[in-house]
Amino acid sequence: MLIVGLGNPGSAYAQTRHNVGFMVIDELLSRHSHDSIKKAAFEGELFKIKDHFLLKPTTFMNLSGRSVASVKKFYKIDDVVVIHDDLDLPFGALRFKVGGGHGGHNGLKSTDAAIGKEYLRVRVGIGRPAHKGEVTGFVLGKYDEAQQELLKAQIAQTADAIEALWQGGSWEDVASKYSVKKVPNKANAPIA
């Protein structure tokens, strides 16, 4: 299985909403011993935990698919899971789906173009800004101090779900057990 966390490389983006996929990969790496795989053609940071590969593309979000396709092809991996931020879900929510549209998410758009749409998407809710014109600043903005506790719980829940997939759970069973639909109202207040 190939687990991809979407995000942008570099310290300037490290704690932004758009990098929550990277945060989940980091959480999994902190829980398990792993090997690092170096290959320039992969255009990403690649790790192996048991029989599973974890990828953080270093191509920037809009070119993520190149990295995903390169690793998928080289190792002949059929099962791909992509963890990404989702504006259409409230902050704290966690949902799962196979296929579908990209919803304007450049990382998904790139991945869809590179490997097709039939992969499991782990949708990590980040909420929406108060005004539509603020989306770019919002996704590239950092979580505030009040959001840190819920963010930690959201990352842990997502990592738990990935571990359940590793243990052979179907994505439907994992979705049933680990989806989070309702979150505290104060966590979802739009950022002014």
Which DSSP string corresponds to 123-170? EEE----SSGGGHHHHHTSBPPGGGHHHHHHHHHHHHHHHHHHHTT--
Tell me, yes or no, if the pTM score tops 0.85.
Answer: yes
Task: Give mean pLDDT, residues 7-31.
Answer: 96
Task: Give mean pLDDT, residues 88-111.
Answer: 94
Arithmetic mean of pLDDT over the chain:
93
Residues marked as catalytic: 18
Residue matched to tokens 């108060």: 130
Asked if pLDDT for residue 188 goes beyond 80, the answer is no
Name the DSSP letter for residue 40.
G
User: 2-188, what's its fold?
Assistant: Rossmann fold (3.40.50)
For the chain, the structural domain boundaries read: 2-188
